[in-house]
Amino acid sequence: MKNEKGFTLIEMMIVLLIISVLMLIALPSMTKNNSLVKSLGCEATIDLVQGQVGAYEAEKNTLPTIEELKDGGYIDTVTCPDKKPLLIDSKGVVSVSDDE
């Protein structure tokens, strides 16, 4: 009989058990933070568009619409990451539309 080195079935099962426990701990926290990530992504998009409103206003001396910003190449998206549309009010403040 040869003395072959390798993992036994018991050792492999223990490794799989440890990996499973780690996955059970990690996955719920990642899915819980998903809504927080979307919210922060929307806030970052609003801040970016607000900055481009200022750039457009400085260049053209008028407040833009979302369409004018997109057509002028100032922005490439008119929605948040969660697909809610962005609006610019009469004072140049960017917000998220309540309608979808």
| CB neighbourhood size of 97 (10 A) | 13
Q: What is the identity of the amino acid at 6?
A: G
Give the separation between CA 18 and CA 81, rounded to whole angstroms: 35
CB 82 within 8 A of CB 65: no
Q: How far apart are CA 72 and CA 99, in angstroms?
A: 25
pLDDT digits 0-9 by tens, 43-66: 899 999 999 999 999 999 999 999
pLDDT digits 0-9 by tens, 65-85: 999 999 989 998 888 888 889
Scanning the chain, the segments in alpha helix (DSSP H) are: 9-32, 34-60, 66-71
Does 99 score more than 70 pLDDT? Answer: no
Position 1 pLDDT exceeds 70: no
Q: How far apart are CA 20 and CA 17, in angstroms?
A: 5
Q: Does the model's pTM come out above 0.75?
A: no
What residues does each domain of the chain span? 48-96
The string of pLDDT tens digits covering residues 7-50 is: 788 999 999 999 999 998 888 777 777 777 777 888 899 999 99
